[in-house]
Amino acid sequence: MSLPGVGVFGTGSTARVLVPLLKAEGFEVHALWGRSEEEACCLAKELSIPFHTSRSDDVLLHQDVDLVCIYIPPSMTRQIAVKALGIGKNVVCEKAATAVDSFKMVTAARYYPQLLSIMGNTLRFLPAFVAMRQLLVEGYVGDIQVCDVRVYGPSLLDQSYGWTCEELMGGGGLHTVGSAIIDLLSYLTGARAHRVHGLLRTFVQQNGLIRGIRRVTSDDFCFFQMLMGGTRSSSGGVCCTVTLNFNMPGSFVHEVMVVGSTGRLVARGTELYGQRNGSKGEELLLSDSGWVGPEVKEMPLPHLRGLSSMVKALRQSFQAHEERRSWARGPVAMAPTFEDGLYVQTVVEAVKRSSCSGEWECVEIMSQEPDPNHNLCEALQRNKN
């Protein structure tokens, strides 16, 4: 029984938390990639990782690396993830920047079904949401009617100008936090959004550090609705409403409520509460036993605990087999697949479209890659006439 060696991409706050969590579960982290030698060197020293580099192949081809964890800016994710699978490595990664990128990742994952490929989306693993889903399946709330989510917190922008400021680079509340919520709601309800409506705003376009000709384009306020499931039921299925506000320094609110015909469940932070119709008050269904891992300012507790639970599940998955590259599906069965990642990205883009058009937008999952020569063909067609 031996765990796979790990290579980590990224030097941001998630990578910084992930490495100690991996080590605590018995994984050996052999290699670290950073965008610059300097960043990589600095974090590798801090976390005692024997090898660091700024060249991705050096990690992907590293002989001791069997599992690659990719926590880098969204615009770079697809390239590394697809290459890692091609080289035969198991992959845990963060979301990509576009649906086209997500689709390419799905194609690669389908091509290598024997390799582990999951989205490092962490909320599904949070014990409160695992318990919530179980109770929903058991009928605690009856027929699900409404999901109501709100996440409030301080600015998501980095200290300096970078991808977090740029909507097209995958920055903003919707892409960063909303995508985790979109995934979570489909996990909880067992349904997918078919129509969405949204409104995005950038209230703070400049600050003390981002000024002059530079301007933030990513959203700091986002508000969207999703109509889930089929249109079978007369009332139109489940309505989800999500409010994200990152203009609230000094606060962190993370509340997920599911209301049904016979009761409701609410996860506040990492704790789960419930109330059945007819009962006098809320009951505490799952308390937070206290977090003993590292405290991270940039990372809210639900994400931190979820990440920790995911690493535990990874350990169980790989422990199930003798061979260090082999893994068992059971412990990671609830993890979001790359297909789930494509769904989430498709919803994100539909919400953005809706914010521009002002209309309800359909969620249509890409089934084949858009032809890169599409525009060229059109131009040729026009010339013929």
Chain contacts with a copy of itself (rule: CB under 8 A):
145-146, 148, 150, 197, 199, 201-205, 221, 223, 225, 234-236, 239, 241, 243, 245, 247-251, 259, 261, 264, 275, 277-281, 358-360
Contact 286, 128 (CB under 8 A): yes
Sign of CA dihedral 107, 110, 116, 117: positive
Q: How far is the CB of 336 from a copy of itself (least distance, A)?
A: 27
Who contacts 242 (Cβ-Cβ below 8 Å, separation ≥6)?
A: 149, 150, 151, 178, 181, 182, 185, 222, 223, 224, 225, 226
Q: How far is the CB of 196 from a copy of itself (least distance, A)?
A: 11
Give the tokens for residue 222.
């986002």
Closer by beta carbon to a copy of itself, 205 or else 373? 205
In sequence order, what E strands does the chain have? Answer: 5-9, 28-33, 51-53, 67-70, 90-93, 117-119, 144-152, 193-201, 221-228, 239-245, 253-260, 263-268, 271-276, 283-286, 361-362
Q: How far is the CB of 279 from a copy of itself (least distance, A)?
A: 6
Q: How far is the CB of 259 from a copy of itself (least distance, A)?
A: 6
Three-state secondary-structure class, residue 56: helix
Report residue 223 CA to chain centroid gap.
Answer: 18
> How many Å from the N-terminal Cα to the C-terminal Cα in the chain?
67
Q: Of 121, 120, 222, 119, which Cα lies nearest the Cα of 178?
A: 222
Q: How far is the CB of 351 from a copy of itself (least distance, A)?
A: 13
Question: CA–CA separation, 299 vs 17, rounded Å?
Answer: 9
Q: How far is the CB of 150 from a copy of itself (least distance, A)?
A: 8
Closer by beta carbon to a copy of itself, 247 or else 319? 247
Q: How far is the CB of 249 from a copy of itself (least distance, A)?
A: 5
Question: CA–CA separation, 184 vs 242, rounded Å?
Answer: 12
Q: How far is the CB of 225 from a copy of itself (least distance, A)?
A: 6
Closer by beta carbon to a copy of itself, 180 or else 200? 200
Question: CA–CA separation, 237 vs 305, rounded Å?
Answer: 31
Closer by beta carbon to a copy of itself, 45 or else 215? 215
Closer by beta carbon to a copy of itself, 22 or else 267? 267
Q: Are strands 221-228 and 271-276 parallel, antiparallel or unpaired?
A: unpaired
Question: CA–CA separation, 4 vs 7, rounded Å?
Answer: 10
Contact 228, 242 (CB under 8 A): no
What amino acid occupies position 298? E
In sequence order, what E strands does 167-246 have? Answer: 193-201, 221-228, 239-245
Closer by beta carbon to a copy of itself, 35 or else 276? 276
Closer by beta carbon to a copy of itself, 127 or else 154? 154
Question: CA–CA separation, 44 vs 355, rounded Å?
Answer: 41
Closer by beta carbon to a copy of itself, 71 or else 223? 223
Closer by beta carbon to a copy of itself, 199 or else 366? 199
Q: How far is the CB of 373 from a copy of itself (least distance, A)?
A: 35
Q: How far is the CB of 360 from a copy of itself (least distance, A)?
A: 5
Closer by beta carbon to a copy of itself, 42 or else 199? 199
